[in-house]
Structure 1
Amino acid sequence: MEFDAVLLGPRRAASIAAGHWHDRTINDDLDACLAACPDKIALTAVRLDTNTMRRFTYREMAALADRMAIGLSRLGVGRNDVVAMQLPNWWQFTLLYLACSRIGAVINPLMPIFRERELSFMLRHGEAKVMIVPKTFRNFDHEAMLRGLMPELPSLTRLVVIGGGGADDFDALLTIPEWETAADAKAILGSARPGPDDITQLIYTSGTTGEPKGVMHSANTLMANIIPYAQRLKLGADDVVLMASPMAHQTGFMYGLMMPIMLKASAVLQDVWEPNRAVDLIRAEKATFTMASTPFLTDLTRTVTETGKPVPSLRTFLCAGAPIPGPLAEQAQAGLGAKIVSAWGMTENGAVTLINLDDDDKLASTTDGCPLPGVELKVVDTDGKPLPPRQSGKLLVRACSNFGGYLKRPQWNGTDAEGWFDTGDLAYITPAGYIRISGRSKDVIIRGGENIPVVELEALLYKHPAVAQVAIVAYPDERLGERACAVVVPRAGQTIDFSGMVEFLKSHKLAIQYIPEKLIVRDAMPSTPSGKIQKFRLRDMLKAGEL
């Protein structure tokens, strides 16, 4: 695979000179852990379906990463080849990234909720060479789905199945054979390691273009964010990071997989969100930090309060993905006894802003934080002119952690010659330099931290024989932040109901989480004189209960 990460080269010299890029990879950090604390517990992974737990020391993790790296090379994976995986927060996720990094392969994490429609595009566009899936997860047969897709994916040469048995079994291919003892193992591991500017991660994000965008990151861009993030939160080797957010999102990948290794800390992975189990894990493993979206904070706070089980080890809960309601911040602070930190970020940059640990607690619910070192922000009007404090406009970011570009879509990179990236969000900046996201210029709904691809949904519903006009808009939800509502004007003489809409979208193999949870049928849409649907009016009407 040839990666067109055109945004990296022009800023390398300045990023190195400023000390923002560190010219190291996860291999260097894992090697440092192996030298300094080989017998420390690095990873504890819990599977709720089987009620099992597996632990790895840094010595064990490094040895298995080497073994799996050679195993991948035996499957034809080499430098710059894409290895896709659709896995929950299992130990195999962490080890696969480390294995890929040993041989210069590029990891492509894919959310377990994705189905045929999303996967067929992503795997084709990213030219994945190997795909790794669970046999089943949450009662869904991922192996059967991928076997059905493979004839349409010429670049995908091998499917590897966890728990599948047979010739494509994960353990049989990657963890049982003692590949590291082979005569050529040392040469493979020594010659294929990537550099800090090589692409290490390809991750897809939803946008307004009607198709997912492949975000390319190098070790330098990822670490340029993780290092100041950990410093602001005063995280170190003594911390235990609980990660229940999906590691196929940047939250889990950067701060649940990479960061603990970079800190010589310990990670605890939970594969299915179950707040009672999370409380037990925090207590048993003495977790000190976690990061998740607002629904996780709501659930954890309620569970601790209702069960009477305190979580005294938990010092910090970083909440991102949606604004934190003031009452929830207060309840969480009191119930958990932890500092609640608000943050804002993007797949393209990681966490861009977050409040400080010594900030007033009220800032967690009234702002989205201030920039990390190496990050600049500005808010501009439609003509690109900077706006004064507290005036909302387009939010631009210039960051050392800015991505390398969108794979095969450089025209969408949204970054000007001076390095300013158009986030697609609307915000204002306070006089103290904190930001508040005030809206989104890009047409995406965020449901519980998960981006809903509005354009794709609308395009699908326009194929429904009863739909003349459709608009997907957000409506507020106390737990998830937002849910999606489909507003439809039917064709003359046609009807559509909620169950019919759901079945239609399911027939197109859409992820269940993307399906609108409300349908409103109208005779006409509010529109501009030119006929453009005024979504802001629909949102306002929903909030006011007028729809």
Structure 2
Amino acid sequence: MEFDAVLIEPRRAASVANGWWPGRTINDELDACVAECPDKTALTSIQVEDGTTTRFTYREMARMADRIAVGLARLGVGRNDVVSLQLPNSWQLTLTYLACSRIGAVLNPLMPIFRERELSFMLKHGGSKVMIVPKRFRGFDFEQMANGLKAGLPELEHIVVVGGRSDGQPGANSFEALLSGPSWEQEPDAHAILTRNRPGPDDVTQLLYTSGTTGEPKGVMHTANTLMSNILSYAEAMRLGGHDIVLMASPMAHQTGFMYGLMMPIVLRASAVLQDIWQAKAAIELIVDEGATFTMASTAFLTDLANTVTETGLAVSTLRTFLCAGAPIPGPLVEQARKAIGAKIVSAWGMTEMGAVTLTNLDDDDERSFSTDGCPLPGVEVKVVDDADLPLPAHTTGRLLVRSCSSFGGYLKRAHLNGTDADGWFDSGDLAYVDERGYIRIAGRSKDVIIRGGENIPVVEIEALLYRHPAISEVAIVAYPDERLGERACAVIVERRGEHIDLPALVEFLKSQKVAPQYMPERLLLLDALPTTPSGKVQKFKLRDAMRGREA
């Protein structure tokens, strides 16, 4: 794969001179961990459904990373080849990234909720050579789906499956048989394989797809420098170090899980605890058993954790900080969570393109966590501008622009969509205002995406699919507030004359189009006509008002 990360070189000299880019890769950090603390527990991976727990010290983790790396090379994976991986939080996900980094391959993490429609585009666009999936997860057969996709993806050479066959034994195409079982690292050519193609800090190391407004996902390219620059300032702001134990239940196919659950513990010489399925009671048990001190997740996770602690009376006394992002935090939730779990609640805002951008500070009053989305991290600048790009005064809503040391290298094969001007300012697509202390507040989104429990719903794509339904004349999908998930999606529909559709039929239609369950509208509002501007653009704010009127 040829990566067109055109946004890296223009800012490299300044980023290095200012000390933002450390010039180190995850290989450097892992090697340092082995030298400094080889027998420290690096990773604990828990499968909630069956209770399986797998642990690695740093020495064991490095050895397994080498083994998997040579195994990938045996499958033909080399420098700049893309390895796609659709796994829940697991040691296999962490180790595969470390293995890819050993041989200069690029990891493409994919959310387990994705199905044929999303995957067929992403795998083709990214030119994936290998796809790694679980045999089954949460009752779904990922191996069958992956095999069905392979015929239409000529560049996809191998499907590798984590987990056994129906009889419990690993198959010939299993992760165990191909990557983690054989002692590949002891082979005569292993040293050469592991050293000749190691990437530099400005080489693309991660390809992560984000939902956009064009109907097609965009492939975000990151390097070690862009990722590390954010992790270092983030960890410093949160006062994290080698003594910490990071619980990560947020998906590692999102930047939250990948940057702060996979990479950050290694950078800090800390320990990571991975939870594959979110269950609040299981999380409480892990915090207690493993002594977790820090976690990051969306508002829905915080709600569940606080409620469960209150209901069960179980204490999570080791947890010092819960960093909450993905949706605004209601004030009563901060108060409840502070009382229930005792941890500091930190509000944050960020993007796949650059990781965390703003955080509230640990010394801030709790009010800051529910009235703002924080202030910029070191190496990050934000400004709010009008349509002419002129700065707006405090408390005036406008377009939010960001200039960050952690900004991505660009969108793969979509440089025209990079949204970054000659001075490095990136248009976030969000509307916001800044207060007199420099804290931002997200006031809405100019890009047409709904965030449900921290997961972006690609509104344009779902609307386009619904327009194919014979009963639908017009459709618009808008957000409505939800106490737990932040937002859910409502389909506002104008029916064709003589036709009728209800919510179950709408959901069944989208299922037939292989749409991920989390993307499905959860309410339906039928109207005689959609409100539009004189130019014909749907006025979605009026639809949101109409929904509130129906609820009143």
Cα deviation 1:310-363 (Å, max 9, x = unaligned): 111000000000000000001101111000000000000100000110011110
Cα deviation 1:181-223 (Å, max 9, x = unaligned): 1111111111111000000000000010110000000000000
- Secondary structure at the aligned position of 1:543 is classed as helix
1:397 aligns with 2:402: yes
- Secondary structure at the aligned position of 2:33 is classed as helix
1:311 aligns with 2:279: no
Take 2:533 and 2:131, find their aligned partners in 1: how far apart are those partners? 46
Q: What amino acid maps onto 1:288 in structure 2? A: T
Shift of 1:546: 6.0
Paired residues, what number?
547
Partner of residue 339, structure 1:
344
Partner of residue 207, structure 2:
202
Partner of residue 109, structure 1:
109
Shift of 1:544: 3.5
Cα deviation 1:420-479 (Å, max 9, x = unaligned): 000000000000000000000000000000000000000000010111100000000000
Picking from 435, 442, 445, the partner of 2:447 is: 442
Take 1:22 and 1:492, find their aligned partners in 2: how far apart are those partners? 62
- Moved segments of 4+, more than 6 Å: none
Task: Answer yes or no: is the 8 Å Cα contact 1:476–1:543 preserved in 2.
Answer: no
Shift of 1:521: 1.1
Picking from 452, 474, 478, the partner of 2:483 is: 478
Partner of residue 66, structure 2:
66
Partner of residue 504, structure 2:
499
Picking from 307, 315, 320, the partner of 2:325 is: 320
Take 1:474 and 1:300, find their aligned partners in 2: how far apart are those partners? 24
Take 1:156 and 1:167, find their aligned partners in 2: how far apart are those partners? 17
- Secondary structure at the aligned position of 1:503 is classed as helix
Picking from 417, 433, 437, the partner of 1:432 is: 437
Picking from 501, 519, 524, the partner of 1:514 is: 519
Shift of 1:545: 2.9
Take 1:298 and 1:49, find their aligned partners in 2: how far apart are those partners? 22
1:290 aligns with 2:295: yes
Counterparts of 1:202-241 in structure 2, within 5 Å, are: 202-241=207-246
Counterparts of 1:8-23 in structure 2, within 5 Å, are: 8-23=8-23
Shift of 1:531: 2.2
Task: Answer yes or no: is the 8 Å Cα contact 1:374–1:399 preserved in 2.
Answer: yes
Counterparts of 1:31-180 in structure 2, within 5 Å, are: 31-164=31-164, 165-180=170-185
- Secondary structure at the aligned position of 1:168 is classed as coil
Take 2:545 and 2:551, find their aligned partners in 1: how far apart are those partners? 8
TM-score normalised per structure 2: 0.98
Shift of 1:280: 0.5
Take 2:364 and 2:550, find their aligned partners in 1: how far apart are those partners? 36
Which stretches in structure 2 are left out of the alignment for 5+ residues? 165-169
Partner of residue 273, structure 2:
268
Q: What amino acid maps onto 2:538 in structure 1? A: I
Shift of 1:530: 2.4
Take 2:537 and 2:210, find their aligned partners in 1: how far apart are those partners? 26
Identity %: 71
Partner of residue 412, structure 1:
417
Take 2:107 and 2:280, find their aligned partners in 1: how far apart are those partners? 29
Picking from 378, 385, 390, the partner of 1:385 is: 390
Take 1:543 and 1:329, find their aligned partners in 2: how far apart are those partners? 25
Take 1:477 and 1:329, find their aligned partners in 2: how far apart are those partners? 16
Which stretches in structure 1 are left out of the alignment for 5+ residues? none
Shift of 1:120: 0.3
Take 1:304 and 1:124, find their aligned partners in 2: how far apart are those partners? 44
Take 1:482 and 1:544, find their aligned partners in 2: how far apart are those partners? 17
Task: Answer yes or no: is the 8 Å Cα contact 1:132–1:162 preserved in 2.
Answer: yes
Take 2:317 and 2:156, find their aligned partners in 1: how far apart are those partners? 47
Picking from 177, 186, 194, the partner of 1:181 is: 186
Take 2:312 and 2:291, find their aligned partners in 1: how far apart are those partners? 18
Take 1:132 and 1:102, find their aligned partners in 2: how far apart are those partners? 18
Task: Answer yes or no: is the 8 Å Cα contact 1:486–1:520 preserved in 2.
Answer: yes
